[in-house]
Chain A
Amino acid sequence: MDKIVIETDLLTKRFGNFTAVDKISFQVTKGEIFGFLGANGAGKTTAMRMLCGLSIPTSGTGTVAGYDITKQPEMVKRNIGYMSQKFSLYEDLKVWENIRLYGGIYGLSEKEIAEKTDRLLHTLNFENERNTMVKSLPLGWKQKLAFSVAIFHEPKIVFLDEPTGGVDPVTRRQFWELIYKASDMGITVFVTTHYMDEAEYCHRVSIMVDGHIEALDTPKILKQQYGVKSMQEVFYHLAQTAKRGD
């Protein structure tokens, strides 16, 4: 049995009398690429915020990277990485300054940061961009850098919230190659996306509808289960059963 790095049991979040996340239970293993799908308003963001230690569950339990999300949210935050398309890097800081900032936030020593920065710039072929302002980097480069910064402190899990929205087709695919590499290194990748072709790249996919996890399996099995050819069709099938308005 692979090592479990995320585990939830009947995890629930209510806002007033609205149940955003309703008793979700699932496990994610080490190195797994786990696609977390659902329509707008299905409860994905709320669930993800709880898993990242940013929101305390109303009921149920969850363990992320070995820490209890209710009792040890600060330890959860230290042991995960996070990246979203909307916000990740500081545009008006240089490349090295962004790396330095995140390294510092995660408590790495000056020496570690210096060594790892060199290595990171070398791997990304970014050596000449060390002193470039992030805002003048092409979008594709920014994304690669943002991802590398999110896993700079070698977290057990990285959460990616729609990392590829608006990105050109080639860059989007290169980005997934980075995800595969991280997964090969044993980092668990928890990713949300609205591109259904990307759902096919995940090892397993869950689909949330109205706060519940309605389906969870490998893309291959899900497609067989619903007798369809693509994850897009699986998604249509499930999301159309949603009762609550977006």
Chain B
Amino acid sequence: MGAISVNKLSKSYGNIRALQEISFEVQTGELFGIIGPDGAGKTTLFRILTTLMLPEEGTATVNGLDVVKDYKEIRRQVGYMPGRFSLYQDMTVEENLSFFATLFGTTVRENYDLVKDIYQPLEKFKTRRAGKLSGGMKQKLALSCALIHKPSVLFLDEPTTGVDPVSRKDFWEMLGRLKKQGITIVVSTPYMDEAVLCDRIGLIREGQFMSIATPEEIINSYHEMLWAVHADKLSTLLSELRAFEGINSCFSFGDTLHITVSNEQLLPATLKSILENKGHTDVDVYPIQATIEDCYMLLAK
């Protein structure tokens, strides 16, 4: 039995179909990423799985328990860190943590080992009110509170949104350590580069999964001819390449452009000399392997 099993789950808000017959499984101990932009349905899915919202159609189980019938038992077994900071702002760091422990009939001392790593940097601020913490510290406190009752499944809804790249990296290292302790983790993110840190990912868009697989499988299933193009004047290069026959798409990726090429006769060296003849300088054209972001954009087309 997997940790999570979702079968044709649907939910609408008025005319907006937030989830459209979503199905997927998460294995026990797996780190499963739900990757997609705002409005794709990520939060709705989390709310249903954590029993905070009822599905309209379809079924879902967490640890074999039904999200509708067995909601009380599920709540005891899962930890949930919502996207919006939802701890008590006017309680101290310490009070928040022991409050959540007490709610679940346990104590901070009993499960301290599990949160130690995450909570330790906060200890020197333990008498500070949660509302007065910086963004990074709030995030650590929220994660500690979601873990203090030793859940077997952890739901993290966009824990890294608005977080700088260095803190994001730290956060993912923390998740890696939790996974080693056998906790099943479902995490959502709009940052495509975080996808490769998951065991498996679901790429979600408009309430539907476009693909569910390991990051490697998703990358390997990308069959377009993908090249990176670089030149000094990227903005003129972009519009020229878009108008170029035999090039299907052209998007900026940092200091290069990624293009998909449909003309199989075209060679990188040929394109390079064409661009140089047009007056571009410092031109470079070379085939590359797709990133998850390339895959997402192709699937979303």
Contact = CB atoms under 8 A, between A and B. Distances in A.
Contacts of B255: 200, 219-220, 230
Interface in A144-184: 162, 165-171, 173, 176, 180
A66 interface: no
A53 interface: no
A38 B235 CA distance: 25
A246 B137 contact: yes
Contacts of B168: 194
Interface string B187-203: 00011100000000000
A170 B190 CA distance: 12
Interface in B194-233: 205
A39 B164 contact: yes
B103 interface: no
A237 to B, nearest CB: 10
Interface in B158-174: 158, 161-169
Given A171-B37, A197-B253, A245-B121, A166 B164 contact: no
B182 interface: no
Q: Which range holds the interface residue count of chain B?
A: 35 or more
Given A166-B37, A245-B121, A40 B134 contact: yes
B293 A169 contact: yes
Interface string B286-301: 0000000100110010
A194 B254 contact: no
A173 B192 CA distance: 14
Interface in B29-52: 36-40
A235 B162 contact: no
Contacts of A170: 251, 297, 300
Nearest to B164: A39
Nearest to A231: B254
Contacts of B246: none
Nearest to B250: A173
